[in-house]
Homo-oligomer: A and B are copies of this chain.
Amino acid sequence: MKLFFLSLLFIFSGNTFAQDPLPAWNDGPSKKAIIRFVQETTRAGSSQFISKEERIAVFDNDGTLWSEQPIYVQLAFAIDRIKTLAPQNPQWKTQQPFKAVLENDIQTVKASGHKGLFELIAATHAGMSTEAFQAIVSEWLKTARHPVTNRPYTEMVYQPMLELLAYLKSNGYTNYIVSGGGTEFMRPWTQKAYGIPPERIIGSAIKSKFVEVNGQYRIIGLPELEWINDGSNKPLAIQHQIGRRPVIAFGNSDGDQDMLLWTTGAPEPRLAGIIHHTDGAREVAYDRQSAIGKLNTALDLAPKNNWLVVDMKKDWRSIFPAIQPK
């Protein structure tokens, strides 16, 4: 019997001391603030207690949960897709921005601006059913590789953020993605990569129509934008789809600023964080001048709003998950 109690003691003390919910985070102010906030909002009797139903955490995706450099993954997908479809579209050889894509002239693609990018999206995302589009995305992810690391894109996710998502989930928080990326582009892989199911993906969307073809019903994407989920549209989409003000929000760019302001502007306890890309050695260092993931005004607003600024170089022990054995 004595051995039994000793074993119990060992088990409990083992749990207490060994269990670090965020091992890829260095011990520092960011990690401390996150853990303190989660403990205080979930401990029964705490003055900061938040009920389980209200524990909503929202996360930007590109640059917050996975890498967005050197170009957005969704743009890399569209470029590959244009190349795949080129044989059936011979006119693209002379037609911009398709010509630039086929010639790997990324500068001209970027210079084509919103109009050019939208033409690429329309040619690669519309005109098919949601199921067909998602199947294409899934197939592409199996073989596509990041141009710098040669990793599958789904292994370009940030290990510390995977841990944060799991930590929040295990504490009764419900995680949502609120991204400028396309909702249907993300849905095929976010459950496996992040543990976030399709119904918790809030992103940009093209218009669609409901059609019947030979007795089969389909939702078909149209070459027209429905919603660009960036800037002030992020809090609006959160209200539209969730209907609760988030308790926790993480982003990395000025496009996330309004989502963070909406979150921490609430009277109750709130936590917001900015992932600051400071690590040029292990990832890419960029902020105020970057064309992708520009972080300028949101960085200035951080101190006054008590937003954590997560310094990737200092705060993160590792950036990407260990390479999976094949």
Q: Enumerate chain A interface residues (CB-CB to B < 8 A).
A: 53, 130, 183-184, 187, 197-199, 201, 205, 208-210, 212, 215-217, 219, 232, 235-236, 239-244, 258, 261-262, 265
Cβ-defined contact, B241 with A241, below 8 A: yes
In whole Å, how far is A140's beta carbon from the nearest beta carbon of chain B? 19
A208/B265 contact (C-beta < 8 A), A53-B197, A197-B53, A244-B198 known: no
Given A240-B205, A241-B241, A235 and B261 touching (CB < 8 A)?
no
Q: Are B187 and A217 interface neighbours, CB within 8 A?
A: no
Minimum C-beta distance from A115 to chain B (A): 24
Residue from the list B215, B216, B219, B244 in contact with A239, Cβ < 8 A:
B219
- Chain B residues lying within 8 Å of A209, measured Cβ to Cβ, are 232, 236
In whole angstroms, how far apart are the Cα atoms of A217 and B264 in the complex?
10
Q: Are A198 and B242 in contact (CB under 8 A)?
A: yes
Q: Is the CB of A183 within 8 A of B217?
A: no
Residue of B nearest to A186 (CB): B243
* New A-B contacts (8) at CB < 8 Å, excluding given A210-B236, A210-B258, A217-B261: A53-B197, A183-B243, A205-B240, A208-B236, A208-B239, A215-B265, A217-B235, A219-B239
Pair B240/A199 contact, Cβ less than 8 Å:
no
CA distance in complex: A247, B240 (Å): 23
Tell whether, in the assembled complex, residue A235 and residue B210 are in contact, meaning their CB atoms are under 8 Å apart: yes
Q: Which residue of B lies closest to A208 (CB)?
A: B236
A198, B208: Cα distance in complex, Å: 25
Closest chain B residue, CB of each to CB of A239: B219
User: In the complex, what's the smallest C-beta–C-beta distance from A247 to chain B, in angstroms?
Assistant: 13
Contact A198 B243 (CB under 8 A): yes
Contact of A210 among B216, B241, B262 (CB under 8 A): B262
Using A217-B265, A219-B236, A262-B217 as known contacts, say yes or no to A242 and B199 having CB atoms under 8 A apart: yes
